[in-house]
Amino acid sequence: MDGEDYKKHSAVIARFTMNYLKTDVLPRTYGALIANAALIRNRSDYEDFFVCSVEDTEKLIEGAEAFFCDVKII
């Protein structure tokens, strides 16, 4: 959105946090959602037998839907 490009997920998350959460463009509560989503993604990519729970999946979906609604406003 800002014309920036990154090679690592962690760099995207850091820049997003700096530009949108710390400046209160979006609610800071999305920081925890993004951190949890990144943790689950890493675990599912690198752990042989990791399975995300239904509860965690539902929380991620609810958070993603709220995030999508907030981002549409910007």
Put simply, whether the predicted model's pTM sits higher than 0.95 gets the answer: no
Per-residue pLDDT in tens (0 to 9) along the chain, 74 residues: 678 889 999 999 999 999 999 999 999 999 999 999 999 999 999 999 999 999 999 999 999 999 999 998 77
Q: What is the 3-state secondary structure (H, E, C) of 7-20?
A: CCHHHHHHHHHHHH
Query: How do residues 1-13 score in pLDDT, each as one tens digit?
Result: 678 889 999 999 9
Helix (H/G/I), strand (E/B), else coil: 3: coil
Phi-psi region of 47 (alpha: psi -120 to 50; beta: other; left: phi over 0): beta
